[in-house]
Amino acid sequence: MVAIDQFKKLGIKDLAARLGIHPFNVVRILTAKNLLTPELHFEEDDVEKVRRFGGVEYWWTGGCEIATDTIRARGVLRSIARELLRRGLVGDTTTRADNIYRGLEPEDERVARRALNVLIQEQLVRTLPTPLGIHVSAAPDQRQVLERLAEGREIPPALAVLWLG
């Protein structure tokens, strides 16, 4: 690191890049937490604060892997169901929707985005608009369906659209 870089302030785009979110979402978090300053410059320490305040998580690092499956897209789908349940994200306990796919490889991210949409359409996952963005959780009355899905024992037919085209 060049000596001058350590004194350089971060802008919204820098903060967004470090967090892996869109700059709009940085502004959304800062506004919701009443932390938006007119200068729009931030310290390195602010990255962790914004991450924490905004509920920005990185699921797919540190040992969390895509389920092994003969069809990769089905493995991604099963992994989403597994992680929602493992993390206790059922009913009123929610997470940012983008936590579900942040950090995945580009193709897996594309599948995860589609999978989340299908899970929502099939009412297996609920959405909740918040000042921090869209949050999601497993529908409490669909927990057993999601458990069977996560284990690969039963895949609802409507979800096959993810790998059948």
CATH number for the domain that contains residue 85: 1.10.10
Q: What pLDDT does 146 receive?
A: 96
Residue 101 near residue 139, CB atoms below 8 Å: no
What average pLDDT does range 31-57 have in this prediction? 91
Q: Is 55 left (phi over 0), alpha (psi -120 to 50) or beta?
A: left
| Cα–Cα distance for residue pair 73/79, rounded to 1 Å | 10
**The total number of structural domains that make up the chain:** 2
Residues 6+ apart with CB under 8 A from 29: 35, 50, 53, 54, 132
Does some domain include residue 60?
no
Q: Are strands 133-138 and 95-96 parallel, antiparallel or unpaired?
A: antiparallel
Tell me the pLDDT tens digit for each residue of 41-50: 899 989 999 9
Does some domain include residue 64?
no
**34 and 76: one domain?**
no
Model confidence, pTM = 0.87
Residue 159 near residue 77, CB atoms below 8 Å: yes
**40 and 88: one domain?**
no
Does some domain include residue 94?
yes
Q: DSSP for 28-62, please give it.
A: HHHHHTT---TT--B-THHHHHHHHHHT---TTST
**114 and 143: one domain?**
yes
**76 and 154: one domain?**
yes
Residue 78 near residue 162, CB atoms below 8 Å: no
- Residue 130: name the closest of 3, 25, 49, 57 by CA: 25
Q: Structural domain of residue 154, as residue ranges?
A: 72-164
- Band (pLDDT 50/70/90 cuts) for residue 8 is confident
**37 and 76: one domain?**
no
| Confidence check: pLDDT of 144 > 60 | yes
* Distances in whole angstroms, Cα of residue 3 to Cα of each of 6, 8, 17: 6, 10, 21
| Confidence check: pLDDT of 140 > 90 | yes
**78 and 25: one domain?**
no
Tell me the pLDDT tens digit for each residue of 68-122: 999 999 999 999 999 999 999 999 999 999 999 998 999 999 999 999 999 999 9
**77 and 50: one domain?**
no
What average pLDDT does range 131-146 have in this prediction? 96
CATH number for the domain that contains residue 47: 1.10.1660.10
**121 and 44: one domain?**
no
- Residue 54: name the closest of 136, 129, 133, 126 by CA: 133
